Amino acid sequence: MSVSVTDDAAVRHILIDRPDRMNAVDKDALHRLADAIESAGADPDVRTIVLSGTGRAFCAGGDLDVEDPLSVENTASTSDAATRCISAIVAVPRPVLAAVRGPAVGVGVSLALAADFTVVRSDAFFSMPFTSIGLMPDGGATALVAASVGRAVAMRMSLLGERLSATDAARMGLVAAVHEPDVFEAELAKLTARLSRISIESLALTKLAVNDSSLTELGDAFARERAGQIRLTTTDSFRDAIAAFTAKRTRPETGERTGSDHVGS
């Protein structure tokens, strides 16, 4: 099972639960996440949703170890699953907190930024190494990142796959704040407690209004990314990247198996 759900009073914890693969997600996991988010939104006893990962990563992005990563069918259905999952986070009538510990990579960045609060531990980093494996960002990332940091940093992250540390992510406005490990859980609990004291209806309408006016490009982004990703699936670059990943070989372009550089701070 790659997604687990637990309740702590009125807080629904949804966990990406595949620590041996750094919580990489395939299409089934994305659908399970979407199911869990939609079901939390329909439960009157749930006031806030916390999305996080088990172990030392938030989410290492799309699963590169699936049966047929080079098939157009896999790309299309994974892209549809990511669209469904990100749309569920944006539309669910409850505040969603992404608790980001460790890496948020690829679609992991979209999961973190689609949330209403991205609560970040100081060991977190954000990276979109899509172009280094011959793909393009998906999961709405082309809209979500630009909506958070502006075009200049969005281009560095999207085109170069540059990695943003937690501190740089906060400094550049990708996330609101970073917390040291010793206070991270307490800060998370403080935020869920504050939200629990506010009217659910008021939070729901406010969240949906903010998202409707700030994420106006999201629907178009999903469609553009899906078409682009399908086209890129059949390229030599992607085939080479998957071969390198499977063989645990570093690639000269990146010096890593897939890889990303740090954004200079």
Ligand X SMILES: C/C=C/C(=O)SCCNC(=O)CCNC(=O)[C@H](O)C(C)(C)COP(=O)(O)OP(=O)(O)OC[C@H]1O[C@@H](n2cnc3c(N)ncnc32)[C@H](O)[C@@H]1OP(=O)(O)O
Is residue 129 a contact residue for ligand X (CB under 6 A)? yes
Which residues sit opposite 231 in a β-bridge?
Answer: none
- Binding test (CB under 6 A) with ligand X, winner from 34, 60, 149, 232: 60
User: Contact, 188 vs 196, CB < 8 A?
Assistant: no
The values of phi and psi at residue 50, to 5°, are -115, 120
Q: How far is the CB of 87 from ligand X (least distance, A)?
A: 17
* 34 touches ligand X (CB under 6 A): no
Asked whether position 161 contacts ligand X by CB under 6 A, the answer is: no
Q: Which range of residues in 2-10, 17-25, 30-38, 176-184 is near ligand X by CB under 6 A?
A: 17-25
125-127, strands of its sheet edge to edge:
103-105, 125-127, 164-165
126 within 8 A of 235, measured Cβ to Cβ: no
Q: Does 258 bind ligand X (CB under 6 A)?
A: yes
Candidates 58, 117, 126, 130: give the one binding ligand X (CB under 6 A).
130
CB of 142 to ligand X, least distance (A): 13
Q: Which position among 7, 8, 65, 73 is part of the footprint of ligand X (CB under 6 A)?
A: 65
CB of 90: closest distance to ligand X in angstroms? Answer: 18
Alpha helices (H) along the chain: 27-41, 72-91, 107-114, 141-149, 151-160, 166-171, 181-196, 200-214, 218-233, 236-246
**Angstrom distances, CA of residue 235 to CA of 72, 221, 240:** 11, 21, 9
Q: Counting contacts by CB under 6 A, is residue 84 touching ligand X?
A: no
How many CA atoms are closer than 13 Å to the CA of 177, on its beta-carbon side?
A: 12
Among 62, 95, 134, 140, binds ligand X (CB under 6 A): 62
Binding of residue 104 to ligand X (CB under 6 A): no
Asked if residues 104 and 163 have their Cβ atoms less than 8 Å apart, the reply is no
Stretch that binds ligand X, among 20-28, 30-38, 151-159, 194-202 (CB under 6 A): 20-28
CB neighbour list of residue 121: distance below 8 Å, 6 or more residues apart: 99, 100, 101, 102, 166, 178, 179, 180, 181, 184
Nearer to ligand X, 63 or 162 (CB): 63
Tell me the window of 127-135, 152-160, 184-192, 200-208 that interacts with ligand X (CB under 6 A). Answer: 127-135
Count of residues that bind ligand X according to CB under 6 A: 20
Cβ neighbours, 10 Å, residue 224: 15
Residue 107 found at the interface with ligand X (CB under 6 A): yes
Task: Provide the binding-site residues for ligand X, judged by CB under 6 A.
Answer: 21-22, 24, 57, 60-65, 78, 103, 105-107, 129-130, 133, 135, 258
